[in-house]
Structure 1
Amino acid sequence: MERHAVPDLTAIPDATRPGRQRWLPRLMRQTAFRRYWSAQAVSLFGDQVSTLAIPLLAVLATGAGPAQMGYLTAAGLAPNLLFSVIAGAWVDRYPHKRRIMIAADVGRALLLAAVPLLWFTHTLTLPHLYAVAFAVGTLSVVFQVAYSSLFVALVARDDYLEASALINGSQAVSSVAGPSVGGILVQLLSAPVAVVVDASSYLFSALLLARTKAVEHSPSTQKGGLSNAIAGLRYLARSMTLRSILLASTTLNLFNYMFEALFILYATTELEVGAGTLGIVLGLGATGGLLGAVITGRVTRRFGIGPTLLAAYIIFPAPLILVPFATGPDLVVLAMLFAAEFVSGMGLVMLDINAGAVQTAATPKSMLARMQGARRTVNYGIRPIGALIGGALGATIGLEPAVWIAVFGALLGVVWIVFSPIPGLRALPEPDVE
């Protein structure tokens, strides 16, 4: 497939301002990529605020109980199962992916802005929140399946790893700082105002994307929505590289969400860690993701992308063994929880950076949205299933045995990688003939 370059000075360092941007990473000196990255960073940060504010609104404004909170979470996740493949097929046929992302940002901003408006007029209900969560989730699906297509229009193939590291680094920062800032905003300004912050972040993202110039690849010529989607799924199933990563990630997500469903309860009841203390430990441990973003490029250049990806599928889940092993004085237990979170977070970012680069490189550009849609359907679809299985196991065989099953099961994901071409990769793979 022919590569498209970003035109003129939007893709090169600002030659008119020598020295002013030398402290920035090389890709961040490129105006188009810097705006694209900034749009993602601002939007991710706003998402972290709403992750706290929306559930709080559900409790405070409507008196939602555990079942209602589960429905609210499901409403936000359901579009990934229902629309990802369809959205991918449609986006691949549309020539202007950037416009799709801008429209999705504006739509999400308007939907979220309606929540505080309903709050202040005393008309906010649970069905309103369900509807907003579902609609925002749907637009997020559309945005995300278009994301890879704009990425390859802005980033040269040789820079995929560096660009992925920068993007995952911003995600790690938002995961560390976002919940804390969200909590402060909710405390000082109230939950409805915190939701306004997220809505504003989407508008800012749309503005930055509107100013990002890129020559996008030609759209897919495959006609018919269903046949277009099936062609993408067929390619995914045929490519051993893409198939192996998908199966490994799906296995990992299944057991990891079993673990996530049990972890808070296990830490607070079995390990007797206070909620506030646990929050601090997890927040500090999340900085492992920042380290992962910093070192992944160097590690990958030293050992090759295949071996690094193989190692990441072990480094991410393996440290969680420390959780059921945690015992002894309080400081020892907290240290083990911190170590588990820190090293696991580092492994997760290493995995995301390398897997993302490999999947992008191994996919024809005209199929990027369909591949993203197919992956989201499987990976996001397995998460609630894992959570339900984890909860059921915890209720039937006990928390500790269920946690052990989740931890060891997550390690099985690496088996799909071992018996694939990936360990032999030293550089990014080429896509198969479309």
Structure 2
Amino acid sequence: MRFFPPQGLWHHKDFLKFWTGETISAFGSQVTAFALPITAALILHATAIQMGVLSFLAFAPMVFLSLFAGVIVDRFPRRPVLIITSLGQVVSIGTIPFLAFLHLLRLEYLYAIALLSGCLSVFFEIAYQAYLPSLVEHTHLLEGNEKLEMSHACAQIVGPGLAGLVVQWLNAPLAMLIDACSFLVAALFLSRIKKPELRKVPQKTELAVFKEISEGLRSVLHHRVLWSIAACNGTINLFNSAFLSIAVLYIVRDLKIAPVMYGFVLSMGSVGALAGSFLAKRIADRFGVGPTIIVSAFFFGVGSLFLPLAGVSTMMATPFLILSWFVQSLTLIIFNITQVSFRQGLLPEYLQGRLNASMRFLICSTLPIGSILGGAVGEAIGLFPTVILSSIGMLLAFLWVFFSPLSSLREQPVQHGQ
């Protein structure tokens, strides 16, 4: 009796290694995503503006490093980039529990570590998305992205709850040791992949760097659908990062939700991400790639409206937060799987690094801006009004793709020849 279909990525040994390593790393990263702001807010007593600065430094490398990283990723084999950056994260994240153990941890050190970890993440994420099309066949891109996002969804469910328990029983800095270990294990799995990478070797001159950066940007800005996706995603990130920069203060301080319960809220809400990872390919196949992207972006904004409602009623705060995270996690996963697979199938493999870097630059350049604005506005007018403004912004973000040609696109594009 077969438990898995005879075709597909279940029998692709190198993809299974890649998937396993990324799954383990995703679980660890969820712990740090939860424990780092808890460390700043509750242990180091950071203010709203200081929380905004911390988020800003974590996201800033996406602005000043993404385009350059895209050129590097296209010039060199991508798997070594993934291994080196994973090992760098072992040192970076592992420094936090080490400093805490020595009673030397300060907010300034968190700033520096957040910046370094952000730089490593830029190279990893760009190489990660560019590597998949060279690892699996084009016909398996949607399946591959679906499986990877399914792992991320499971990590979003288990990670915050695990981190909440560790923080409650021990402390937030120690919880991040789990993440450091997960990056080490992921690097070991990546090192065991055997499939070689085949790409062109561009001219390695300073002039060629700027030419290649320009080529990547043009591939997005001259494509009506790609830049509408970038604008939509960038708007979501702007207002979502504004909220996330003050989320711990709003939820833990204002709504009086304990860290362990906050972890439970994130875990329960993230069940939506797991559901989305199962449904994304089926929905895209049934309704078409374009409509799936548009509708998922719209309902992501609808889910954000429950965030301010949580501040209206103390009794309903936890259910509203869970509902908001569930809807947003569900729709964001569907949106990401569909639009990333669309991008990967649209342009030739040798451009994937610069395409992903350009999209990441345009999409994520709003993250540090939103983080600073969230902290500053929260400090100026209060946390609750800032949450309301953030929710309205996320709701309107879908208009970029609604007024684009996406509604008429039904099929996954066929990748051009190399």
81, 84, 98: which one aligns with 1:103: 84
Conserved? CA contact 1:57–1:192, under 8 Å: yes
- Partner SS state of residue 83, structure 2: helix
Q: How many residues align?
A: 413
Does residue 41 of structure 1 match 2:41? Answer: no
Conserved? CA contact 1:262–1:390, under 8 Å: yes
AA of the residue aligned to 2:276: G
306, 316, 337: which one aligns with 2:300: 316
Residue 171 of structure 1: how far off its partner (Å):
1.0
Conserved? CA contact 2:299–2:331, under 8 Å: yes
Alignment match, 2:178? 197
Alignment match, 1:299? 283
Residue 35 of structure 1: how far off its partner (Å):
0.8
Instruction: Map 1:28-427 onto structure 2 (within 5 A).
Output: 28-55=10-37, 63=44, 65-66=46-47, 69-94=51-76, 96-121=77-102, 124-188=105-169, 190-191=171-172, 193-219=174-200, 221=202, 223=204, 224-261=208-245, 274-275=257-258, 279-324=263-308, 334-393=318-377, 402-427=386-411
AA of the residue aligned to 2:151: S
Residue 260 of structure 1: how far off its partner (Å):
3.7
- Partner SS state of residue 199, structure 2: coil
- Relative to the length of structure 2, the TM-score reads 0.86
Residue deviations 1:269-323 (CA, integer Å, cap 9, x gap): 88x5644655534431221111111112221111111111111111111132244
Conserved? CA contact 2:55–2:368, under 8 Å: no
Conserved? CA contact 1:109–1:200, under 8 Å: yes
AA of the residue aligned to 1:159: H
Residue 253 of structure 1: how far off its partner (Å):
1.8
- For 2:361 and 2:280, the matched residues in 1 are separated by 27
Conserved? CA contact 2:157–2:270, under 8 Å: yes
AA of the residue aligned to 1:250: G
CA change 1:187–1:275 in 2 (3 A) is closer
Conserved? CA contact 2:234–2:362, under 8 Å: yes
Identity of aligned residues (%): 32
Conserved? CA contact 1:262–1:391, under 8 Å: yes
Task: Point out the more displaced range, 160-169 or 345-354.
Answer: 160-169
- For 2:331 and 2:258, the matched residues in 1 are separated by 25
Conserved? CA contact 2:56–2:371, under 8 Å: no
Conserved? CA contact 1:242–1:362, under 8 Å: no
CA change 1:220–1:406 in 2 (3 A) is farther
Q: Rg larger in 1 or in 2?
A: 1
- For 2:311 and 2:170, the matched residues in 1 are separated by 40
Conserved? CA contact 1:241–1:362, under 8 Å: no
- For 1:124 and 1:267, the matched residues in 2 are separated by 24
Residue 265 of structure 1: how far off its partner (Å):
5.7
- Relative to the length of structure 1, the TM-score reads 0.83
Residue deviations 1:3-46 (CA, integer Å, cap 9, x gap): xxxxxxxxxxxxxxxx6863899423321111111111111111
- For 1:267 and 1:115, the matched residues in 2 are separated by 24
- For 2:243 and 2:414, the matched residues in 1 are separated by 35
AA of the residue aligned to 2:137: A
- Which blocks of at least 5 consecutive residues in structure 1 are unaligned? 1-18
Conserved? CA contact 1:220–1:367, under 8 Å: no
Residue 331 of structure 1: how far off its partner (Å):
5.4
Task: Point out the more displaced range, 344-353 or 118-127.
Answer: 118-127
Residue 178 of structure 1: how far off its partner (Å):
0.9
Residue 432 of structure 1: how far off its partner (Å):
7.5
Residue 72 of structure 1: how far off its partner (Å):
3.7
Q: Over aligned residues, Cα RMSD in angstroms?
A: 3.3
CA change 1:398–1:47 in 2 (3 A) is closer
- Partner SS state of residue 213, structure 1: coil
Conserved? CA contact 1:220–1:366, under 8 Å: no
Residue deviations 1:69-90 (CA, integer Å, cap 9, x gap): 5444333222222211111112
Residue 52 of structure 1: how far off its partner (Å):
4.0
Residue 125 of structure 1: how far off its partner (Å):
4.9
Task: Point out the more displaced range, 159-168 or 331-340.
Answer: 331-340
- Partner SS state of residue 316, structure 1: helix
Conserved? CA contact 2:304–2:395, under 8 Å: no
Task: Point out the more displaced range, 217-226 or 135-144.
Answer: 217-226
